[in-house]
Chains A and B, each alone.
Chain A
Amino acid sequence: MFWVVKIIFTLFLISSFLIPANAETKNKTLTFLIIGQSISSNCNQKKFDPEFGVNQFNIDGNIVKAQDPLIWADCQGGSLWIPFGKKIITDNLATEVNLLPIGARGTKIKDWLPSGRAYPKLQKALDLIINNKIHIDYVLFYQGSSDIGTKPYLYHSMFLQLHKIVKNRIGFLDWIIATHSRCFGRTDKDIANIQKSFNSIHFYTGPDSNSFGDEYRFDGCHLNEQGQLKMAMLWADSVKNAIDKKKDIENETLISYFKHIKL
């Protein structure tokens, strides 16, 4: 009897180290919902030309080629998302990238909550996702410099409220959260620390926008062409890291073993 217990224990121990076979086929299309303020929108310097395989959703939810300025986002300049999409494809993370960037300039995080000025836009985007049965793979969150001076625990709490709003409408999604609390020479380290602190099975670390000096910005805040290209690379790397980390988490927590059971 005692030997039976020892054998069972040993088998369980060994099973922790086994990586289960990946039963899922490779994801050919990655779809991103991008929430944030001006730096996540078309408020940057360079307008990028369309790239093959990099698309966006129009107002009706149809997929069209992505071209700066992107349809849903604020401002009439350029974004970083076309070079981002191109990098995702060249890194073999997907063969097609669909973008839904709904950034609104100058928004504090509370503006994305009920009675905030960006809330109607968020709800409209979520309605589009639901009505068109769009499958979102990641939410890219690129906001924070408008919240310089906001109490950190309030920022933390409001972010979780925003997450809950999105979750309640379109389910649990993986969020990649950039560190962005620097603009026009001012940086809020507390907000940056809060943004870096989000770390769970659905929150992953995004690029550190605060590390970009003025050589990457054309007005002290928004990105010039060099900044857009570099930030695009960093965002693509963050997506790759998130994919790898999620796989590690699911293997280590044994979720991957139980995920294949459909009961």
Chain B
Amino acid sequence: MQTEIARTDNVNASRKTFLFYIENIRAIAIILVVLCHLSLWSRINPDSVSWVGYHLSDATAVFVFISGFLFKFLADKNGFSFFPYIKKKILNVLLPYLLFIAFATVIGLILKSYEHFGLSPIPFSIWSVFIGGSVIAPLWFVPMIFLFFLSSSLWIALSRHKFFYIFTYTLILFSVFSSRPYLNLNPFFSFLHFSGFYAMGILMASDLSQPAPKVQSNSLYMMIICLFLYFITFLYFLHNPTHEDGFISNIFKLNIIQLGKIFLILFLFLLTRKYLNRKIPLLSYIANISFGLFFVHGFSLVLFGYVASRAQINNIIAYSLSELLISFGLSILIIEIIKKITGQWSRYVLGC
């Protein structure tokens, strides 16, 4: 009886506590995403598949993991009902996306980006909304993540199955032995490729509601092991520095970058849970605007590219500093201005 009470208390406590560590991981993830998209790396290191690319690329995996984690955590905490859930996602995610993709598509039409893809304007416009990243590359993420939202009932049902962990391991294996679709322009293939990370997030959240979560035991040792394995995969990558996109052509081929991301995510999860489970103002702020930063930074980088090509900045330090300033600083400024203008409606415009 007492064990039962303690178990319930533990479960309730874990559900009531704000997950500062998840907030902090979210901030780290968006920083990695923005850094990954900077062109300064190709100036510092001309190799297309470089050590920088290994560490920074596929930061999306971290976001997908967090998405799965929060989905399960909040579903267990508040209960889950599909229609209220999808309505919330339509308002907070799809609506801002449609605003940004409309703007991006108009830019694409003006710049005749449709010629680049061999399409005429109207099919290009429809296709752009469907796949997201035709003009502003990072927007590919939203059509994919929306597929996770649409399949939420399925994920909830699966997560309650006693063999969900086997399903998760299978999906993780698939994520490690597949690649993104070409140019990230197929949300279905992206959904399949990143499913392992989403399932991993759900599994970790499921584990938390246990009386003695596995993640809590020996977390320091697990952190060290994860970091060590991440380093090993990095060394393997340095000796085999090739990676190609293309979902169909790379099925069942080892994706060493994603394998490393598995260990990195586990390491970050354990590290932040053990040592950073508290409010850190800067990370908290970045986490709160992460969706807005995600939407806006692509536009900032396109603007920077245009300005940099006109200004012909050759000094590597000047180039790097200005790109960092534009990508983060200008993006944050735009976000704050939009939030000021739209007030309580900012969530439907920016996602934050």
Contacts and interface: CB of A to CB of B under 8 A. Distances in A.
A255 interface: yes
Interface stretch (B54-62, B103-111, B125-133): B125-133
B338 to A, nearest CB: 30
A172 to B, nearest CB: 5
Given A202-B116, A248-B248, A254-B185, A152 B46 contact: yes
Contact of A201 (B116, B126, B244): B116
Interface string B102-125: 000000000000011111111110
A2 B82 contact: yes
26 contacts: A9-B147, A16-B188, A154-B314, A156-B42, A156-B46, A193-B47, A194-B48, A196-B48, A197-B47, A201-B183, A248-B182, A248-B246, A249-B182, A252-B247, A252-B248, A253-B181, A253-B186, A254-B130, A254-B131, A254-B185, A254-B186, A258-B127, A259-B118, A259-B123, A261-B123, A263-B123
Interface in B314-333: 314
Interface residues on B, range: 35 or more
A176 to B, nearest CB: 16
B206 interface: no
B151 interface: yes
A111 interface: no
A200 B186 contact: no
Nearest to B248: A252
Nearest to A262: B120
Interface residues of A, number: 35
Interface in A21-38: none
A8 to B, nearest CB: 9
Interface of B: 42-43, 46-48, 82-83, 86, 115-124, 126-127, 130-131, 147, 150-151, 153, 181-183, 185-186, 188-189, 244, 246-249, 314
A12 B123 contact: no
Contacts of B83: 1-2
Interface of A: 1-2, 5-6, 9, 12-13, 16, 152-154, 156, 171-172, 190, 193-194, 196-197, 199-202, 248-250, 252-255, 258-259, 261-263
B131 A253 contact: yes
B45 to A, nearest CB: 9
A27 B321 CA distance: 49
B46 A201 contact: no
